[in-house]
């Protein structure tokens, strides 16, 4: 069974997923960051593929991607780093990145190398749904990979239900239509969106991302979905602290 499915079967609430940019702050930090996150009790990890034009990301993640690319990170390098990650890590791992690097690498090559590295799924924010159905889903399915799709407050009910029907793993609920970035709290409009999606009784579990940075926002997300995804707050912690272990500890402290 896919590790993502195992996670949601064994833990229905308060799931914590953390995103980080591979190759940041240092090129060889990828596996140590994964190991440190798992050691601190993180349930799932999104490994970010740095890209030169990250249109959905705020300045914190954009800067981390720029530094990672300068460090020499590439998909080929990343798969090399992840080759033996399953010798020490058990929690679900998801590759997250934009379509351009994946297409340049080749969908078949990407899915094959994900499977060989023990990756459980992928998130490609700018992948058109029609292209997902025709080109990506069949290949990902052959390699046992979940392809997680995003919804936003502007996503129509019809599209939400299409995504729910044709994807697996979980649905990534973007809390806001803006770019990524930490927030102190969610406004009433955002909470209404959470509740509207809850009322749809979807087949897939949901994880809420964008804007999760502290105890208040983490609890609000967990109260309206299976859990929360943290990205910018962790990248900022990596920037501010001298080592990965301290950065993870500081992040977890903010959520308690």
Task: Report, as residue numbers or ranges, the catalytic residues.
Answer: 46, 57
Report the distance separating Cα 48 and Cα 123, nearest Å.
9
Could you tell me the end-to-end alpha-carbon distance of the chain, in angstroms, rounded to an integer? 31
Cα separation, 251 vs 248, in Å, equals 5
Helix, strand and coil percent figures for the chain, each rounded to 5: 50, 15, 35
Q: For residues 208 and 221, is the Cβ–Cβ distance under 8 A?
A: yes
* Positive or negative torsion for Cα 216, 218, 219, 221: positive
28/34 Cα distance (integer angstroms): 11
């Amino acid at each position: 069974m896919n590790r993502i499915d195992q996670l949601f079967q064994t833990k229905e609430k308060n799931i914590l997923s953390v995103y980080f940019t591979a190759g940041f702050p240092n090129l060889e930090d990828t596996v140590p960051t994964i190991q440190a996150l798992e050691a601190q009790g993180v349930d799932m990890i999104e490994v970010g593929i740095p890209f030169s034009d990250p249109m959905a990301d705020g300045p914190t993640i954009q800067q981390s991607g720029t530094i990672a690319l300068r460090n020499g990170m590439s998909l080929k390098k990343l798969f090399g780093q992840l080759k033996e990650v399953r010798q020490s890590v058990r929690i679900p791992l998801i590759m997250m990145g934009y379509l351009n690097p994946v297409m340049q690498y080749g969908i078949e090559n990407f899915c094959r190398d994900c499977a060989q590295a023990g990756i459980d799924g992928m998130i490609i924010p700018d992948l058109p749904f029609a292209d997902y159905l025709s080109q990506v889903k069949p290949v990902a399915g052959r390699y046992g990979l979940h392809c997680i799709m995003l919804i936003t407050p502007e996503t129509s009910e019809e599209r939400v239900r299409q995504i729910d029907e044709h994807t697996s793993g979980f649905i990534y609920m973007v809390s806001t239509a803006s770019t990524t970035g930490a927030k102190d709290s969610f406004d009433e409009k955002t909470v209404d969106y959470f509740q509207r999606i809850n009322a749809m009784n979807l087949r897939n579990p949901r994880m809420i991302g964008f804007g999760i940075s502290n105890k208040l926002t983490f609890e609000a997300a967990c109260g309206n979905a299976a859990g929360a995804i943290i990205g910018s707050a962790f990248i900022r912690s990596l920037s501010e602290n001298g080592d990965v272990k301290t950065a993870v500890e500081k992040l977890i402290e903010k959520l308690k």
